């Protein structure tokens, strides 16, 4: 299971990386953490002509919070984000999701940007980005572009990043007062990809849900926002019957895959359970944060 022949470039700046991407386009793969890309190469499922290793671009790492947004450089290691007090404070949903990504050794190398650029619909970070309407910043030959999460995820392992663009940063809106979060996941084993996962954020004002956001992992070929359920919840008091109905609406809109680990039917049932559990936990957390 050895990697196939491949050329290798190690740019030191974003503009060098963009130049290389413009030169090679679809024949190049960007090597960030490598935790998703290298297995694909080892299995000879991916055959890029050139690897553009961006691990040497120092300007791509960093976590900062300002003006109600958390900015995370694309090369920020998942473990760094996981240990960051800034992340925990500003975007608790992200902090809840990060420890669920694989295992410690994966998070030692895996990057926040890499996970979002790879866009595995069963992964945790795409669901968080979609739930919170994160913004993804790409750099290309004609400059920078900001892509809202709703427009970023196009299909299975496919994003709207052009072949000559590099994802440089992702921005998450900071959680306001009265916001509680939950990341629920059903996986075969601890650390495995979710069969179904759910990122939930609920904001309570005077005991009423003023904002509800939910996005599924593993329920589609992209992270799936449960818009119909969110609309039901807005303005309502949190009650078990409401959560049951939200669950019903959420699963009516999804068409999950069937695979070795679970059928579509199974994933729908689990998705419903996660909505109920996710909302309960998020509301409990919201109450604590008030």
Binding interface with another protein (CB under 8 A) = 1-8, 10, 31, 34-35, 38-39, 41-44, 51, 53, 55, 79, 102-106, 108-109, 186, 188-193, 195, 260-263, 266, 269-270, 273
Least Cβ distance, residue 17 to another protein (angstroms): 15
Using DSSP bridges, classify how beta strands 50-53 and 7-9 pair: parallel, antiparallel or unpaired: parallel
CA atoms lying within 13 Å on the CB side of residue 67: 2
Q: Which residue's CB is nearer to another protein, number 17 or number 132?
A: 17
Could you write out the three-class secondary structure of 77-143?
EHHHHHHCHHHHHHCHHHHHHHHHCCCHHHHHHCEHHHHHHHCCCCCHHHHHHHHHCCEEEEEECCE
How far apart are alpha carbons 203 and 200 in whole angstroms?
10
Give me the residues paired with residue 212 across strands. 202
CB of 237 to another protein, least distance (A): 23
Measured from the CB atom, is 174 or 275 closer to another protein?
Answer: 275
Considering the complex, what minimum distance in angstroms separates the CB of residue 62 from another protein? 18
Which residue lies nearer to another protein by CB, 33 or 178? 33
CB of 42 to another protein, least distance (A): 5
Closer CB to another protein, 31 or 131, in the complex: 31
* CB-based contacts of 218, cutoff 8 Å, min separation 6: 121, 122, 193, 194, 195, 196, 197, 256, 257, 267
Q: Which is nearer to another protein, 85 or 260 (CB)?
A: 260
Q: How far is the CB of 68 from another protein (least distance, A)?
A: 32
- From the CB of 195, what's the least distance to another protein, in Å? 7
77 vs 171, beta carbon nearer another protein: 77
CB atoms within 10 A of CB 47: 12
11/262 with CB nearer another protein? 262
Shortest Å distance, C-beta 178 to another protein: 28
Q: How far, in Å, CA of 70 to CA of 174, rounded?
A: 6
Asked whether 145 and 22 are in contact (CB, 8 A), the reply is no
- Shorter beta-carbon distance to another protein: residue 34 or 173: 34
CB of 266 vs another protein, minimal distance in Å: 4
d(CA 182, CA 277): 9
């Amino acid at each position: 299971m050895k990697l196939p022949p491949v050329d290798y470039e190690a740019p030191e700046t974003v503009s060098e990386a963009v130049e290389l991407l413009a030169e090679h386009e679809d024949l190049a793969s960007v090597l960030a953490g490598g935790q998703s890309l290298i297995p694909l190469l080892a299995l000879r499922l991916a055959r890029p002509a050139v690897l553009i290793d961006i691990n040497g671009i120092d300007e791509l790492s960093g976590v900062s919070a300002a003006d109600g947004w958390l900015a995370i450089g694309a090369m920020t290691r998942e473990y760094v984000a996981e240990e960051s007090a800034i992340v925990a404070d500003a975007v608790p949903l992200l902090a809840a999701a990060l420890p669920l990504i694989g295992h410690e050794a994966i998070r030692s190398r895996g990057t926040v940007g890499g996970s979002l650029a790879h866009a595995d619909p069963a992964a945790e970070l795409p669901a968080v980005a979609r739930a919170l309407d994160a913004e993804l910043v790409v750099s290309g030959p004609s400059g920078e572009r900001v892509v809202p999460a709703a427009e970023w995820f196009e299909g299975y392992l496919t994003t709207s990043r052009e072949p000559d663009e590099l994802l440089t940063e992702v921005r998450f809106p900071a959680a306001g007062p009265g916001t509680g979060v939950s990341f629920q996941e059903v996986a075969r084993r601890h650390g495995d990809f979710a069969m179904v996962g759910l990122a939930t954020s609920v904001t309570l004002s005077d005991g009423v849900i003023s904002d509800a956001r939910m996005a599924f992992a593993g329920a589609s070929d992209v992270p799936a926002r449960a818009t119909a359920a969110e609309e039901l919840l807005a303005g309502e008091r949190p009650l078990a019957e409401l959560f049951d109905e939200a669950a019903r609406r959420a699963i009516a809109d999804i068409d999950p895959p069937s695979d070795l680990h679970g059928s579509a039917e199974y994933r729908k049932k689990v998705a419903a359970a996660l909505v109920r559990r996710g909302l309960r936990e998020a509301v409990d957390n919201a109450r604590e944060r008030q």
